Structure 1
Protein backbone atom coordinates (compact mmCIF):
# COMPACT_ATOMS: atom_id res chain seq x y z
CA UNK A 1 0.00 0.00 0.00
CA UNK A 2 1.44 3.35 -1.00
CA UNK A 3 1.73 6.31 1.38
CA UNK A 4 -0.85 8.15 -0.71
CA UNK A 5 -3.40 5.35 -0.24
CA UNK A 6 -2.74 5.30 3.52
CA UNK A 7 -3.22 9.06 3.69
CA UNK A 8 -6.51 8.79 1.79
CA UNK A 9 -7.65 6.00 4.13
CA UNK A 10 -6.77 8.11 7.17
CA UNK A 11 -8.74 11.02 5.71
CA UNK A 12 -11.71 8.72 5.12
CA UNK A 13 -11.57 7.42 8.71
CA UNK A 14 -11.43 10.98 10.08
CA UNK A 15 -14.42 11.97 7.96
CA UNK A 16 -16.45 8.96 9.04
CA UNK A 17 -15.65 9.44 12.74
CA UNK A 18 -16.54 13.13 12.71
CA UNK A 19 -19.75 12.40 10.81
CA UNK A 20 -20.73 9.78 13.41
CA UNK A 21 -19.98 12.23 16.23
CA UNK A 22 -22.15 14.88 14.57
CA UNK A 23 -24.97 12.37 14.02
CA UNK A 24 -24.93 11.36 17.69
CA UNK A 25 -25.08 14.99 18.80
CA UNK A 26 -27.78 15.79 16.23
CA UNK A 27 -29.76 12.75 17.32
CA UNK A 28 -29.68 13.97 20.92
CA UNK A 29 -30.90 17.43 19.85
CA UNK A 30 -33.76 15.79 17.98
CA UNK A 31 -34.61 13.48 20.90
CA UNK A 32 -34.57 16.44 23.29
CA UNK A 33 -36.82 18.54 21.08
CA UNK A 34 -39.24 15.63 20.64
CA UNK A 35 -39.21 14.99 24.41
CA UNK A 36 -37.96 11.42 24.12
CA UNK A 37 -38.37 9.12 27.11
CA UNK A 38 -35.13 9.48 29.05
CA UNK A 39 -35.78 6.23 30.90
CA UNK A 40 -35.24 4.41 27.60
CA UNK A 41 -31.78 2.84 27.31
CA UNK A 42 -31.14 4.13 23.78
CA UNK A 43 -32.13 7.68 24.71
CA UNK A 44 -29.93 7.52 27.81
CA UNK A 45 -26.98 6.25 25.80
CA UNK A 46 -27.35 8.97 23.15
CA UNK A 47 -27.73 11.64 25.84
CA UNK A 48 -24.63 10.45 27.73
CA UNK A 49 -22.57 10.20 24.54
CA UNK A 50 -23.68 13.62 23.31
CA UNK A 51 -23.05 15.22 26.69
CA UNK A 52 -19.53 13.76 26.77
CA UNK A 53 -18.79 14.77 23.18
CA UNK A 54 -20.13 18.29 23.68
CA UNK A 55 -18.89 18.78 27.23
CA UNK A 56 -16.87 21.81 26.17
CA UNK A 57 -19.91 23.59 24.67
CA UNK A 58 -22.67 22.30 26.94
CA UNK A 59 -24.28 25.24 28.78
CA UNK A 60 -22.06 27.67 26.89
CA UNK A 61 -25.09 29.81 26.06
CA UNK A 62 -27.54 31.20 28.62
CA UNK A 63 -30.82 31.45 26.75
CA UNK A 64 -33.94 31.54 28.89
CA UNK A 65 -35.48 28.57 27.11
CA UNK A 66 -33.88 25.18 27.74
CA UNK A 67 -34.48 24.02 24.17
CA UNK A 68 -32.52 26.99 22.82
CA UNK A 69 -29.57 26.17 25.10
CA UNK A 70 -29.58 22.56 23.93
CA UNK A 71 -29.81 23.46 20.25
CA UNK A 72 -27.15 26.18 20.46
CA UNK A 73 -24.71 24.35 22.76
CA UNK A 74 -24.90 20.93 21.19
CA UNK A 75 -25.39 22.32 17.69
CA UNK A 76 -22.19 24.34 18.00
CA UNK A 77 -20.28 21.21 19.00
CA UNK A 78 -21.66 19.27 16.03
CA UNK A 79 -20.75 22.04 13.59
CA UNK A 80 -17.24 22.40 15.02
CA UNK A 81 -16.62 18.66 14.84
CA UNK A 82 -17.82 18.56 11.24
CA UNK A 83 -15.83 21.63 10.21
CA UNK A 84 -12.58 20.60 11.86
CA UNK A 85 -12.83 16.92 10.87
CA UNK A 86 -13.59 17.64 7.24
CA UNK A 87 -10.93 20.35 7.09
CA UNK A 88 -8.29 17.96 8.43
CA UNK A 89 -9.42 15.21 6.05
CA UNK A 90 -9.33 17.62 3.12
CA UNK A 91 -5.85 18.78 4.07
CA UNK A 92 -4.66 15.15 4.23
CA UNK A 93 -6.10 14.39 0.81
CA UNK A 94 -4.38 17.39 -0.75
CA UNK A 95 -1.04 16.63 0.88
Structure 2
Protein backbone atom coordinates (compact mmCIF):
# COMPACT_ATOMS: atom_id res chain seq x y z
CA UNK A 1 0.00 0.00 0.00
CA UNK A 2 2.84 2.41 0.70
CA UNK A 3 4.01 1.94 -2.88
CA UNK A 4 0.59 2.85 -4.29
CA UNK A 5 0.48 6.14 -2.37
CA UNK A 6 4.21 6.86 -2.41
CA UNK A 7 5.75 9.79 -4.20
CA UNK A 8 4.11 13.18 -4.53
CA UNK A 9 1.62 13.97 -1.73
CA UNK A 10 -0.78 15.56 -4.24
CA UNK A 11 -0.82 12.33 -6.24
CA UNK A 12 -1.46 10.36 -3.04
CA UNK A 13 -4.46 12.58 -2.22
CA UNK A 14 -5.88 12.04 -5.70
CA UNK A 15 -5.59 8.28 -5.34
CA UNK A 16 -7.06 8.27 -1.84
CA UNK A 17 -10.05 10.37 -2.96
CA UNK A 18 -10.71 8.00 -5.86
CA UNK A 19 -10.39 4.97 -3.58
CA UNK A 20 -12.94 6.44 -1.17
CA UNK A 21 -15.35 7.27 -4.01
CA UNK A 22 -15.01 3.75 -5.45
CA UNK A 23 -15.48 2.23 -1.98
CA UNK A 24 -18.74 4.14 -1.49
CA UNK A 25 -20.01 3.03 -4.90
CA UNK A 26 -19.08 -0.61 -4.30
CA UNK A 27 -20.66 -0.51 -0.85
CA UNK A 28 -23.93 0.70 -2.37
CA UNK A 29 -23.80 -2.08 -4.97
CA UNK A 30 -23.32 -4.66 -2.21
CA UNK A 31 -26.04 -3.13 -0.03
CA UNK A 32 -28.47 -3.16 -2.96
CA UNK A 33 -27.63 -6.64 -4.23
CA UNK A 34 -27.90 -8.18 -0.77
CA UNK A 35 -31.07 -6.21 0.14
CA UNK A 36 -29.65 -4.19 3.03
CA UNK A 37 -32.15 -2.43 5.29
CA UNK A 38 -32.68 0.96 3.63
CA UNK A 39 -34.02 2.41 6.87
CA UNK A 40 -30.54 2.03 8.38
CA UNK A 41 -28.69 5.36 8.60
CA UNK A 42 -25.43 3.98 7.17
CA UNK A 43 -27.18 2.38 4.20
CA UNK A 44 -29.12 5.60 3.61
CA UNK A 45 -25.95 7.73 3.74
CA UNK A 46 -24.08 5.40 1.37
CA UNK A 47 -27.07 5.43 -1.01
CA UNK A 48 -27.18 9.24 -1.13
CA UNK A 49 -23.41 9.53 -1.52
CA UNK A 50 -23.38 6.90 -4.28
CA UNK A 51 -26.23 8.67 -6.07
CA UNK A 52 -24.24 11.89 -6.03
CA UNK A 53 -21.05 10.17 -7.23
CA UNK A 54 -22.91 8.35 -10.02
CA UNK A 55 -25.13 11.22 -11.13
CA UNK A 56 -23.72 11.12 -14.66
CA UNK A 57 -24.17 7.36 -15.10
CA UNK A 58 -27.26 6.36 -13.10
CA UNK A 59 -29.49 5.77 -16.13
CA UNK A 60 -26.82 4.92 -18.66
CA UNK A 61 -27.76 1.23 -18.70
CA UNK A 62 -31.37 0.06 -18.40
CA UNK A 63 -31.54 -3.73 -18.15
CA UNK A 64 -34.78 -5.15 -16.76
CA UNK A 65 -33.05 -6.71 -13.74
CA UNK A 66 -32.67 -4.05 -11.01
CA UNK A 67 -29.59 -5.69 -9.53
CA UNK A 68 -27.75 -5.71 -12.88
CA UNK A 69 -28.84 -2.13 -13.47
CA UNK A 70 -27.32 -1.11 -10.14
CA UNK A 71 -24.10 -3.03 -10.75
CA UNK A 72 -23.64 -1.44 -14.17
CA UNK A 73 -24.72 2.11 -13.36
CA UNK A 74 -22.74 2.36 -10.12
CA UNK A 75 -19.85 0.08 -11.05
CA UNK A 76 -18.92 2.08 -14.15
CA UNK A 77 -18.21 5.30 -12.25
CA UNK A 78 -16.17 3.36 -9.68
CA UNK A 79 -13.94 2.00 -12.45
CA UNK A 80 -13.77 5.37 -14.22
CA UNK A 81 -12.82 7.23 -11.03
CA UNK A 82 -10.05 4.73 -10.28
CA UNK A 83 -8.69 4.80 -13.84
CA UNK A 84 -8.78 8.58 -14.18
CA UNK A 85 -7.20 9.06 -10.76
CA UNK A 86 -4.43 6.61 -11.61
CA UNK A 87 -3.69 8.43 -14.87
CA UNK A 88 -3.90 11.87 -13.28
CA UNK A 89 -1.73 10.85 -10.30
CA UNK A 90 0.83 9.43 -12.71
CA UNK A 91 1.01 12.80 -14.48
CA UNK A 92 1.33 14.64 -11.16
CA UNK A 93 4.20 12.35 -10.11
CA UNK A 94 6.21 13.16 -13.25
Figure out how many residues of one structure are paired with residues of the other and give that number.
88
Give how far 1:42 is off: 0.3
Distance (whole Å) between structure 2 residues aligned to residue 70 and residue 60 of structure 1: 10
Normalising by the residue count of structure 2, what TM-score does the alignment of the two structures yield?
A: 0.91
Partner of 1:31: 31
Distance (whole Å) between structure 2 residues aligned to residue 68 and residue 33 of structure 1: 9
Normalising by the residue count of structure 1, what TM-score does the alignment of the two structures yield?
A: 0.90
Structure 1 residue runs of 5 or longer lacking an equivalent are 1-6
* Divergent runs of 4+, >4 A: none
User: Computing the radius of gyration over CA atoms, which structure comes out larger, 1 or 2?
Assistant: 1
Partner of 2:48: 48
Structure 2 residue runs of 5 or longer lacking an equivalent are 1-6
RMSD: 1.0
Give how far 1:47 is off: 0.2
